[in-house]
Structure 1
Amino acid sequence: MKPLVMRIVFWSVLVAALAILAGVVYEQYGRYRAARDFPAPGKMVDIGGGRRIQLDCRGAGSPTVVFEDGLSIDGSLSWAAVQPAVAQRTRACSYSRAGLMWSDASNAPRSAKQVAQDLREALMRAGERGPFVLVGQSLGGLYATTFTRYFGSEVAGLVLVDPSHPDQVARVAAFMTETRSLRSRIAVSLAWTGLLRAAAPSLLPQAPNQTEHDAQAVRAFAPKSMVTQMAEGDATDAVLAEAGAFRDLGSRPLVVLTAMAPYTGSELRGMQITPEQGVQVQAIWEKMHEEMAAWSSRSAHRLLPKAGHDIQFDDPRAVVEAVLSVVEAVRAEGGTPPG
């Protein structure tokens, strides 16, 4: 009986080892195909320290619009439905933060200041010069204001697309507490086995106004990007506290866009709140954006009743109009960043 048990254990271990090896090979081949089939749009900019950042700049004119993604894995592709229209009127640059899509990962501690420094280094080394109009969605809105904090002489205006607020965790604590799925953590930790790549098509559906090509590119790089996204999510509280130290945008033209479409059933389940509580959370969200609009003496706050949090996909025209309104305001005043 004992030899039989030993044989069962041996073959079980062997099958498991072969399955893991097959998964590793599948993942490595997937990464090779991702780089081959989806080359980086724009160019890869060497920012020093052995790292490169993907930067995609199009069009001509001043000021230069710079897009900053939120806490997602889309990188520069988050703005694919917006950037071309803006590039018809002025210079427009999107990029992927360190560790997202094509960009190399960073070993530096995650902070809003580090994101700002990486972005500026990429812009400078690529020959892109201000004045800049910064466009940031969700957490990217606070990355944009942090860039303004450290490089304010180069920032002429901003558009904040359903931005995060430094006090958002405390303000909605009565309704919901932030949770990070253990299932997601396990999936990300096993990315090297190919499991995450195999599940990507079902986990990452195509967004509204997103091309099939872009959706496939995001899925192809998902095992890499989701590791970065998880780390960025873990650092969110620290980033909110860091960004909250700067709330003065002077007289720079500013537009704040707020998504006001009712939360979907899946969103409510994800936040673990009722539809009634969802209405209350949205009211708090709107109030926080009113406060952010007051960070500049020349601002507009626009509510978008049919758009969800990813306004750049749900209502790209609204984002384009907001960006171009700030571009025209900057041009009217000669392009000099106001204090």
Structure 2
Amino acid sequence: MRLSIRSWVKRVTITGSILAISLVSIGCFYEQAARSRAIKDFPAPGKLVDIGGRQIHLNCQGRGTPLVVLEAGADTSGSALWQPVQEQVARFTRVCSYDRAGIMWSDPAKGQRNSHAIAEDLHKVLRAANEQPPYILAGASMGGPYVMTFTKYYRKEVAGMVLVDASHPDQTARLAQATGEPASNPIPMAFRALAAVAWTGLPRLVLPDAEVPELPSQTAKAITAYQPTSLAAAFAEAAVFEDSLREAGTFRTLGHLPLAVLSRGKPWSAFSEAERAAGGLTREQFNRAEAAWANMQAEEAGWSSNSTHQVLADSSHVMQLERPDAVIAAIRDVVVRATRANATP
């Protein structure tokens, strides 16, 4: 009887192993086919620029100077979220959006993906594509610290800046102080696991499709198609989130550089109870966090003696989608101010 049980266990184990290997193999083939299909169905809207053994997707439109450079926040959508803004800015000057390493159409990069590495990549791709300074940098969310870091290292090439509800270097500690809650892990374990097994096709099966009604359906489909391959890069940035904030925090003085700060201002009533609860906060904690965020936004406007600050009462965080008109107007204003400053003897 013992021999038969052992034999049965052995057979079940072997069968299970064969089945698991088969499923992984099928998943791998499925994922490779999906990636090939994504390249065919959703080609890069811009060009792939070589920066030394890897390519970065750079999408430039329009003519004129100064050149506006759009820096996305920390997610897997990359340059796509800037589409409504870019199309309109291209009507009055040249404007470029791009995808950071490993996001959407850009090749991944080795090493830490902190703000310094990201600034170096951006500088390389602009130079390799022969896009000349001066630059107006527009950074949304975490894109704010990224453009501040770029300006720290390449100050002479920057003519102006627009911060779109941008992250603040001290936000982690100050939001924790406001809520009385410790900072949460920026990358939940489940998502880390998904990124690690992207090659099996599992993330493509379980992740929801991108729902971005403000974008053309083809663009939203492209975000969905490239989301599984963008996960690892997005998480690599999140893993060094605090390092990037500290780096940006060492440079907060822009002198008289033209600066426009846009901040979200939707009141509590505009947020659903589910959104508030998802953060694990009470109403009072949420309100204190929003007040702390508003104070940090006002501080950002103080980084230049030539700044404007607008709080958009009808917009939440992703205002390049919710209020592209306000973002476009802010960019136009900074372009005008930078042009006048450059023309002054």
| TM-score normalised per structure 1 | 0.94
Aligned partner of 1:184 in structure 2 is 191
The answer to whether residue 335 in structure 2 is matched with residue 331 in structure 1 is no
SS state at 2:63 partner: coil
* TM alignment of 1:62-81, pairs within 5 A: 62-81=65-84
**How many angstroms does 1:335 deviate by?**
5.8
The answer to whether residue 220 in structure 2 is matched with residue 212 in structure 1 is no
The answer to whether residue 317 in structure 2 is matched with residue 309 in structure 1 is yes
**How many angstroms does 1:275 deviate by?**
2.4
Which of 196, 200, 205 is the equivalent residue of 1:198? Answer: 205
Rounded Cα–Cα distance in structure 1 between residues aligned with 2:112 and 2:322: 33
Q: Provide, for residues 230-289 of structure 1, a one-character-per-residue CA deviation record: whole Å limited to 9, x for no partner.
A: 111110011111110000111111111111224444432332212222121111101001
Rounded Cα–Cα distance in structure 1 between residues aligned with 2:323 and 2:343: 28
SS state at 1:80 partner: helix
Rounded Cα–Cα distance in structure 1 between residues aligned with 2:89 and 2:152: 25
* Counterpart contact for 2:210–2:224, Cα < 8 Å: no
SS state at 2:69 partner: strand
**How many angstroms does 1:35 deviate by?**
1.2
**How many angstroms does 1:208 deviate by?**
3.8
SS state at 1:85 partner: helix
* TM alignment of 1:246-285, pairs within 5 A: 246-261=251-266, 262=268, 263-285=271-293
* Counterpart contact for 1:206–1:212, Cα < 8 Å: no
**How many angstroms does 1:110 deviate by?**
2.2
CA, structure 1 residues 108+314, in 2 after alignment: closer, same or farther (shift >3 Å)?
same
Rounded Cα–Cα distance in structure 2 between residues aligned with 1:31 and 1:98: 17
**How many angstroms does 1:105 deviate by?**
1.1
Identity of aligned residues (%): 41
* Counterpart contact for 1:260–1:305, Cα < 8 Å: yes
CA, structure 1 residues 266+144, in 2 after alignment: closer, same or farther (shift >3 Å)?
farther
For structure 1, the 5+ residue unaligned runs are none
Aligned partner of 2:15 in structure 1 is 11
CA, structure 1 residues 8+335, in 2 after alignment: closer, same or farther (shift >3 Å)?
farther
The answer to whether residue 251 in structure 2 is matched with residue 243 in structure 1 is no
SS state at 1:173 partner: helix
Q: Aligned Cα RMSD in Å?
A: 1.6
**How many angstroms does 1:193 deviate by?**
1.3
For structure 2, the 5+ residue unaligned runs are none
**How many angstroms does 1:19 deviate by?**
1.0
The code of the aligned residue for 1:213 comes to Q
* TM alignment of 1:1-339, pairs within 5 A: 1-2=4-5, 3-48=7-52, 50-174=53-177, 175=179, 176=181, 177-179=183-185, 180-200=187-207, 202=208, 204-261=209-266, 262=268, 263-334=271-342
Rounded Cα–Cα distance in structure 1 between residues aligned with 2:137 and 2:272: 29
CA, structure 1 residues 288+95, in 2 after alignment: closer, same or farther (shift >3 Å)?
same
